Amino acid sequence: MEIETIRNTDPEVAELIEKELERQQTTIELIASENFTSKAVMAAAGTVLTNKYAEGKPYKRFYNGCENVDKIEELAQERAKKLFNAEHANVQPHSGAQANMAVFLYAVKPGDTVMGMDLSNGGHLSHGSPVNFSGLYFNIISYGVNDNGEIDYDNVRELALKHKPKLIICGASNYSKIIDFKKFKEIADEIGAYLLADIAHIAALVAAGEHPSPFPYADFVTTTTHKTLRGPRGGIIMCKKEHAQGIDKAVFPGIQGGPLEHIIAAKAVALKEALSDEFKQYAKQVVLNAKALAKSLMDEGLDIVGNGTDNHVMTLDLRKLKKTGKDIANILELTGITANKNTVPNDPESPFVTSGVRLGSPAATTRGFKEEDMTEVGKIIAEAVKISDTKDENKIKELRQRSLNLCKKYPLYKD
């Protein structure tokens, strides 16, 4: 990283960047929506491409001088299409939420009925939360999960037949089971609705064949590029050719101005990496590591929503222990593990407190962790939960050292 260049201009910012690097190097990252990019992806995001305005699509810009960014953006589009077997890709969305916003702008009108997974049950803000644009401007019908943490597809169908949404959203930010995209498509077809699959969390698993693909079924597929895909912070929309022109117009001029061409270059690099055999092995290991972590936690007597995971994510259910997600996430941070508080189905606590902690395996897998390492992580977490009331300083120090030993075993950005 070009830290010396930054330090020469702004030593305060440089110092904070260095501290953040140290935090990442010495912490086990279990936030399911975070990951570590390659140095090549980071380098692409910090290039002279940040200087270029390029409103419009490749070869149809409103600015001159776009001959190079046109080719880079085209590369990103083609790589996304190849990776996911998609008919069309728009790589300009600045985030996953904005990718979803563009689909809303194209597919429905304010006041129309839209069905999505409830945020407290594992959905995303942009799937209909009342504090988000999706909930503020549309009539939202929410579905959730049963006591086993699974989507009840019969209930989804009943809701769809009753309320006749024009758009159905499947996909989640915290769902540990396999999503049956075919069933969602059957429900959508029954009422003549569009189907949007938001695969922001499982994109790498879909790309590598570790999770069924939505592409044979969904009209639109959105994803972030910075979670399991290990790219820069951004979004992508993919769709059938019949929707391509409308989606492109919804992105620009619909919801965005100039695209971030330096980030699109980083997306292109990440997508090339994702087409490699090494990436397929990584995605496979993500699932193996998540299963190993879930088993370790359950072996230690902790509850997991749905009793395990089929993908990269799981949620600790702390209700039986009468502990909160907020407290456990804080004690974990003291022991060198970063996670986030999260609601569990039918959570009695507020979203600011919660009864759960979401845990994910992608970042640790990128770092090099294997199943035996995740088993040790599970034991550290279980010990931290046990001492969360007393906050035994000696025990915290011991657990912190165990976490640090794992970090040292798999150095981050050292070579």
Q: Out of 233, 280, 319, 386, which one is annotated catalytic?
A: 233
**Domain end call among 218, 249, 274:** 274
The whole-number average pLDDT for the span 17-44 is 97
| 29 located within any domain | no
Residue 224 has φ and ψ, to the nearest 5°, of -85, 170
State yes or no: pLDDT of 385 exceeds 70: yes
Q: Per-residue confidence at 1, pLDDT binned at 50, 70, 90?
A: low
Q: Does 224 qualify as catalytic in the annotation? A: yes
User: Is residue 227 annotated as part of the catalytic site, yes or no?
Assistant: yes
pLDDT at 147: 81
**Residues 283, 204 contacting (CB under 8 angstroms):** yes
Q: Are residues 212 and 147 in the same domain?
A: yes
List the domain range (segments joined by +) for residue 305. Answer: 287-409
Is 180 one of the annotated active-site residues of the chain?
A: no
Calculate the average pLDDT of the chain: 97
pLDDT tens, residue by residue, 130-141: 999 999 999 999
Q: Over pLDDT 70: what percentage of the chain?
A: 100
Question: Stretch 98-123: mean pLDDT, rounded?
Answer: 96
Q: Is the pLDDT of residue 2 over 90?
A: no
| 254 and 332 in a common domain | no
Q: What is the 3-state secondary structure (H, E, C) of the chain?
A: CCHHHHHHHCHHHHHHHHHHHHHHHCCEECCCCCCCCCHHHHHHHCCHHHHCCCCEECCEECCCCCHHHHHHHHHHHHHHHHHHCCCEEECCCCCHHHHHHHHHHHHCCCCCEEEEECHHHCCCHHHCCCCCHHHHHCEEEEECECCCCCECHHHHHHHHHHHCCCEEEECCCCCCCCCCHHHHHHHHHHHCCEEEEECCCCHHHHHCCCCCCCCCCCCEEEEECCCCCCCCCCEEEEECHHHHHHHHHHHHHHHCCCCCHHHHHHHHHHHHHHCCHHHHHHHHHHHHHHHHHHHHHHHCCCEEHHHCCCCCEEEEECHHHCCCHHHHHHHHHHCCEECEEECCCCCCCCCCCCCEEEEECHHHHHHCCCHHHHHHHHHHHHHHHHCCCCCCHHHHHHHHHHHHHHHHHCCCCCC
Average pLDDT, stretch 165-169? 98
**What CATH number did the domain enclosing 382 receive?**
3.90.1150.10
Catalytic residue among 61, 177, 185, 227: 227
What phi and psi values does residue 188 have, to the nearest 5 degrees? -60, -45
Predicted local confidence at residue 203, as pLDDT: 98
Q: Which of 7, 18, 47, 55 is catalytic?
A: 55
Q: Which of 231, 246, 274 is the last residue of a domain?
A: 274
- Residue 30 falls within a domain, yes or no? no
- Sign (positive or negative) of CA dihedral 115, 121, 124, 129: positive
Binning pLDDT at 50, 70 and 90, where does residue 80 land? Answer: very high
What are the beta bridge partners of residue 239? 88, 220
CATH number at residue 126: 3.40.640.10
Counting the structural domains of the chain, the total is 2
Which of 29, 73, 118, 198 is flagged as catalytic?
Answer: 198
Q: Looking at the predicted structure, is the pLDDT value of residue 414 above 90? A: no
Same domain, 219 and 246: yes
The whole-model pTM stands at 0.95
The verdict on 399 and 319 lying in the same domain is yes
Spatial separation of the C-alpha atoms in residues 292 and 184, rounded to whole Å: 30
Determine which one of 224, 225, 343, 366 is catalytic.
Answer: 224
Tokens of 100: 């979803």
**Are residue 246 and residue 154 in the same domain, yes or no?**
yes
End residue of a domain, out of 274, 300, 335: 274
Its sign, for the CA torsion 369, 290, 22, 233, is positive
CB of 255 within 8 A of CB of 101?
Answer: yes
Q: With cut-offs at 50, 70 and 90, classify the pLDDT of residue 148.
A: confident
Residue from 7, 18, 34, 53 carrying the catalytic annotation: 53
Per-residue pLDDT, 123: 93
* CA atoms of 161 and 113, how far apart (whole Å): 12
- Asked whether the predicted pLDDT for residue 415 surpasses 90, the reply is no
pLDDT per residue over 289-316, tens digit each? 999 999 999 999 999 999 999 999 999 9
Q: In this predicted model, what pLDDT tens digit does every residue of 236-259 receive, in sequence order?
A: 999 999 999 999 999 999 999 999
